[in-house]
Structure 1
């Protein structure tokens, strides 16, 4: 059996983090999707980078593009300082490379533009992962599977129902989990042999280096907007390459509870983003951020601990069933089932329920907020009401999702 050290020593990782995240607008108007806050203190990209780091993969390129400055700064200040000799967490963007390169036109085109980084490495394998999903995974186990099956490419897959399958790229496999077909959003998805569920691609891949270089160069001759799902995987299947699916349910991490197995969230819409955040504050969350054997890492600020003040008459600072980050002060307000971002302030007699506040939000006296997402640095005036009258919310210029979540930005 291959050990973590053996497989990760011969592997480099490339994280696709250039996404604009249009379906998360207006939250992504001033930041890329991977840099959107999650769970109060984290950024979405911290989850894949923590998985790589905890798995022993410490030679990582992060491919950034849309509004890249904030994300690049986060990587530099947080992730690059945790590496040793010959290790790196480094960002590369098309606008900071040679003048001949253009914006990424597809997921595989992004890797193709920086193929020289792979060609100049001593790696035997490349882990290509997306930067915008929420989950925990020991990636070294997937690399070991790739080696044992002698695969050219291994695709991480989750099991979904036939109804859900119509929203994913679906992988058809034989009894050995060798991929026989890959179809984007099929009307009649093929189930896994012997089961009622289907394999959906997670958009995460392990490639053997020689094969990756070969197929990208071949594919780029045919498709300017070269994409793994649309072009590369079908091309490899047509060529008879060894394409295998790795069942995410087979993956386990130290300290994992049984109910956490298989947890993976695509936070691509405002509703799914909100729901994934709310998952965290359940009594027994499926994603446990308190597992110190597999920590989710991020930039550690110098903020003081969260603080509640006042207990007199009708004014009492209370945080109930909530995440409250460092530097926050609840000065006589009530917070229920909510996530309060770093350095936010809740003033007296205010009420916050079922909501997500980003960093440095100030909620005025007697303000009421329900089922809302409040962007960073927003000041909610005294007495304001958000989430109670959607027509009034629209008149104030707020965005409202189909499920009734109110989005407030500057």
Structure 2
């Protein structure tokens, strides 16, 4: 932030993402396509860049090739001004071992902090869909003199076991307890069916974080995780505060879109977030030109609709050729839908081909899947469960290049 405090962005992008299989069978979770042309990592990087945090390190580990390539080729900043976004793969700087957890990932990458010497460090997750202005969170952190500030969002108590849960103090800011994925989380005072869930976005005063990482490294019983280790430690020491995401206002957002945040860690949540994009009044509108989501769409011609092809309530990427019927779907670049084919309520990644007369319903097809003429997916639930991955809510998912019977 020019003229203000210096902030280094550290994006945690090494997660395996097992709950998103088969989409993560060949790539890291932050590299998974979202919204047609984006990768999940584009959302956090866009928020940080729009918020004037222009020096960022993306820590990668699990099957990171496509993620490293995307960050390297897409996120090129002005070297004249000293700005950068750089992927940082696991380097075993502290011995012959990979990252033991997210805290250990930062500990092993402290050379980046020592080189940059920032006043503050923003540690953000890489696999959520949202818009957020980090400057507003930073302003609270600096004004209150906090050691650590964690962004919190209200979620139903029934869903809280998937998140870190924050218990705020009487002032609504000081963190009294931080529980990582508790089985029976406590509700909020006055609203017992809601909890404050951690969004996985943290701001630290640099010295506080560095000291906490070294303390954690000495603890043989630690899981060496930001949410499971560092935040509880700083909470016990009275150094952690919560930032209420409801107070964050992004330029260009509508009242309907305010406070939108989705953890797309499962096939069902990933699918539902895509359906949010295509409703008549979308809950999350990709077209906010005052707070854009950046990516590199590739060099492809505009989409074509030929031979009576039609798409309704859909997102259609460049290079697509539509000869059949598409409804309530999201199509990535290069998708081909042949004559007589129907695609309904589905998410199709790059270069998927749907043959003549084929039917695809309620499905997620990863890149290069070829649906033969006359084949059906999402028509016979029993058969689909025998052949493909089917989520709890019945969403069918095929991995990259998977054969369609």
Q: Normalising by structure 2, report the TM-score.
A: 0.94
Distance 2:6 2:327 in 1: 47
After superposition, where does 1:290-369 map in structure 2 within 5 Å?
Answer: 290-310=287-307, 316-331=308-323, 333-369=324-360
* Greater alpha carbon shift after TM alignment, 348-357 vs 166-175: 166-175
Partner residue in 1 for 2:265? 268
**Is the Cα–Cα contact under 8 Å of residues 94 and 108 in structure 2 kept in the other structure?**
no
Which whole-Å CA distance do the structure 2 matches of 1:166 and 1:16 have between them? 21
Cα deviation, 1:25-62, whole Å, max 9, x if unaligned, reads 11110111000000111001100000001001110000
Equivalent position of 1:313 in the other structure: none
Q: Report the Cα distance in structure 2 between the residues aligned to 1:404 and 1:394, rounded to whole angstroms.
A: 9
Separation (CA, whole Å) in 1 of partners of 2:348 and 2:255: 30
Give, in whole Å, the separation in 1 of the partners of 2:320 and 2:218: 54
Structure 1 segments unaligned to the other structure (5+ residues): 311-315
Q: Aligned partners of 1:105, 1:131: CA distance in 2, in Å?
A: 18
Shift of 1:167: 3.3
Give secondary structure in 1 for the equivalent of 2:76: helix
Residues 1:233 and 2:231 aligned together: yes
Provide the residue aligned with 1:374 in structure 2: 365
Deviates more, 1:83-92 or 1:28-37: 83-92
Q: Distance in 2 between matches of 1:84 and 1:295?
A: 23
Displacement after TM superposition at 1:187 (Å): 4.8
Give, in angstroms, the shift of residue 351 of structure 1: 0.4
Number of aligned residues: 397
RMSD: 1.7
Deviations 1:291-325 (A, max 9, x none): 10000000131111011002xxxxx2001110000
Select the residue among 120, 140, 145 that pairs with 2:140: 145
CA distance in 2, matches of 1:285, 1:204: 25
Distance 1:101 1:328 in 2: 46
TM-score by length of 1: 0.93
Match of 2:178 in 1: 182
Paired residue for 1:11?
7
Shift, 1:191, TM fit? 3.8
- CA distance in 2 between partners of 1:194 and 1:394 (Å): 43
Matched, 1:242 2:233: no
Alignment of 1:8-407 (within 5 A): 9-81=5-77, 84-95=80-91, 98=93, 100-176=95-171, 177-196=173-192, 197-223=194-220, 225-238=223-236, 240-310=237-307, 316-331=308-323, 333-395=324-386, 397-407=387-397
Deviation at 1:102, TM superposition (A): 2.2
Give the match's secondary structure for 1:159: strand
Structure 1, 228-237 or 56-65: larger mean CA deviation: 228-237
Q: Deviations over 1:377-399 (max 9, x none)?
A: 1111011111101233244x311
**Aligned equivalents of 2:154 and 2:3: distance in 1?**
29
State the alpha-carbon separation in 2 of the partners of residues 88 and 164 from structure 1.
37
- Give the secondary-structure state (helix, strand or coil) at the position aligned to 1:120: helix
How much does 1:188 deviate?
A: 4.6
**Runs of at least 5 residues in structure 2 that lack an aligned partner in the other structure:** none
SS of residue matched to 2:285: coil
SS in 1 for 2:116: coil
Superimposed CA distance per residue, residues 75-108 of structure 1 (whole angstroms, 9 cap, x where no aligned partner): 111002466421110011114x658352111111
- Once the two structures are overlaid, the 10-residue window that deviates more, 99-108 or 41-50, is 99-108
> What SS class does the counterpart of residue 299 from structure 1 fall into?
coil
Distance in 2 (CA, whole Å) between partners of 1:408 and 1:298 is 24
Residues 144-173 of structure 1, C-alpha deviation per residue, up to 9 Å, x if partnerless? 110011000000100123333343221111
State whether structure 2 residue 398 is matched by structure 1 residue 408.
yes
SS of equivalent to 1:407: strand
Q: SS at 2:162's partner residue? A: coil
